[in-house]
Structure 1
Amino acid sequence: MKTNANSIIIAVAIILSAYLFSNAFQNRNQSNDTISVTGLGKKDFTSDLIVWSGSFSKKSFTLKEAYASLDADRAKIKNYLSSKGIADSEIVFSAVSFNKDFETTYNENGTLKQQLFTGFTLTQNVTIQSKEVNKIEDISRQSSELINSGIEFYSNAPEYYYTKLAELKIQMIAEATKDANIRAKSIAENAGAGLGNLKKSDMGVFQITGQNSSEDFSYGGSFNTFSKNKTANITVKLVYQVD
């Protein structure tokens, strides 16, 4: 009888332990039920800073003559830009770079015959940075006037920037977070559950592309500088507890 009683006690203990373990496991899973959502923040904006640059060159047999010719062209370029209403503080000339030029000739068998010195080529860059975006944009399109005046001027495409990017990013994070919260509430309500506390949040990559363009987002974030009108995008991932 004593053996049977001990067997019954052991059996009951095993069943009770199994029940308690099962119940604890179920409660643990319930406490870890979460909803993961991604919200989007998107904003169109117009650049408020333009950077336009170009380069000009002169070649002469002597370094002194090349420098004198380059100085004359630099003065003409500065006068031209000033006549267009660009302030001196917005015009920056770089240091002058120069190359020694050689004409190389070869023998009939392809071996080097001689290198003949043909002169020096001097090059200088000029950069204009201004908040008068439309004005500088128009001037960049008229830069052929410098070429017509005899200056060997090469114009680069303008680059466009936005000086209030930090403030814009904060606004977009708030917008993306609000969007994610609305999505999470909708999912919880449709599932007949309640939305609990926020457990985790992650911010995605900040992307800037041209408006109405087919530019692809990049893993490290894209930063368009060749479009005046841009679109910024950012995502925020939120993980909520489910009640």
Structure 2
Amino acid sequence: MKENRFLLPTIILSLAILLSVLLFSGTWKKVRSTDQTINVTGSAKKLIVSDLAVIRGNLNAEAATAKEAYQKLQSQKPILLAYLAKQGFNEKDIDFKTTNSYPNYYYNNNGMQTGIRSYTINQMIEFQSKDVEKMKKLSIDITSLVEQGVEFAVNPPEYYYTKISDIKIDVQAEAAKDAMIRGRRIAEATGRTLGTLKSARMGVLQITPENSNITSDYGVNDVSSIRKEITAVVNANFEIE
């Protein structure tokens, strides 16, 4: 009778201890799981085709005096404007920048200036079009004006995509989705599941020529190619359960 009197309290105490251990174990596992995270990098790439081209170049003239150089420069403009008019450009579409003038010197054997040889005047000219293929061809053909006495030094065309802000949002969203997929696959490979997103950091966008592997910590913004690729990178941190 005495032994039976202590049997029930012993059983209750044992069950209480067992329950406490189970509860502690489950809580510890939960805390341990939430403390574990995984860092993954996702990326996405889109092809874009430029829809705007800009050409810049310098009209140059050299003569014995600054006045003569200026007059020579002005005499070249009608020829250049007539050429561009045949290409579909009105004079109002052409932006003439400020003229610059500087002397050219004679130098002796010691590299000292001995007098003014001539004067050079140049003026930057800029025009643009949405017909990028036409502008590409024009940038090559316009140098033929030298045969008519026009000294026009053209720069390589610059090609832009005017809807780049819309593409940025889409490609960054795809990069974030790629990071989530990568994280899920890694978690599943280790018998875990991917939890909530704790943090995400967008990398700088890279706009590069098609099939190029150029990258920069500060980002790349290519203007030399008609066809480009925009690449976004997202570094994400997920909980794993």
TM-score normalised by the chain length of structure 1: 0.82
* Alpha-carbon distance between aligned partners in 2 of 1:66 and 1:28, rounded to the nearest angstrom: 81
> How far apart are the structure 1 equivalents of 2:170 and 2:35?
31
1:237 counterpart = 2:240: no
Q: Secondary structure at the match of 1:201?
A: strand
For residues 63 and 203 of structure 1, the distance between their equivalents in structure 2, rounded to whole angstroms, comes to 54
Q: 1:203 maps to what in 2?
A: 202
Between the aligned partners of 1:160 and 1:231, the Cα distance in structure 2 is 13
Change (3 A) 1:47 1:111: closer
Matches within 5 A, 1:1-243: 28-106=31-109, 110=110, 112=112, 115-213=114-212, 215-243=213-241
- Residues of 2 paired with 1:49 and 1:210: CA distance? 15
Structure 2 distance, partners of 1:240, 1:61, is 73
CA distance in 2, matches of 1:89, 1:60: 29
The alpha carbon displacement at 1:145 in A equals 2.1
Deviations 1:176-225 (A, max 9, x none): 11111111222222222222211111111200111123x42111111111
Deviation at 1:87, TM superposition (A): 3.3
- Are residues 144 and 111 of structure 1, via their aligned partners in 2, closer, same or farther at CA, if it must alter by over 3 Å? closer
In 1, Cα distance between equivalents of 2:178 and 2:30:
31
1:66 is displaced (CA, Å) by: 1.6
Q: CA–CA distance in 1 between the matches of 2:102 and 2:154?
A: 21
- Cα distance between partner residues in 2 of 1:220 and 1:144: 35
Q: Deviations over 1:2-22 (max 9, x none)?
A: xxxxxxxxxxxxxxxxx9xx9
Q: Give CA deviations for 1:121-175 in whole Å, capped at 9, x if unaligned.
A: 1111111122121111111111122111111221211111111111111000111
Letter in 1 for 2:144: E
**Equivalent residue of 1:220, what SS?**
coil
Q: C-alpha distance in 1, partners of 2:192/2:176?
A: 21
Question: Residues 47-105 of structure 1: CA distance to partner in whole angstroms, max 9, x if unpaired?
Answer: 11111111121122222222111111122111211111123343111111001222122
Shift of 1:227: 1.0
The 3-state SS of whatever aligns with 1:95 is strand
Cα–Cα, structure 1 residues 88 and 195, in superposed 2: closer, same or farther, change >3 Å? same
Between 1:81-90 and 1:178-187, the stretch displaced more is: 81-90
Q: Deviations over 1:27-61 (max 9, x none)?
A: 54332111221111100111111111111211222
Q: Identical aligned pairs, as a percentage? A: 34
Structure 2 match to 1:7:
none
Give 1:25 shift.
Answer: 7.1
- Structure 1 Cα separation of the partners of residues 211 and 236 of structure 2: 28
Structure 2 unaligned spans of 5+: 1-20
Gaps in structure 1 of 5+ consecutive residues: 1-18
Q: Does the 8 Å CA contact 1:90/1:130 hold for their aligned counterparts?
A: no
Q: Does the residue aligned with 1:142 lie in a helix, a strand or coil?
A: helix
Aligned partner letter, 2:90: A
Aligned length: 218
Whole-angstrom CA distance in 2 between matches of 1:89 and 1:194: 63
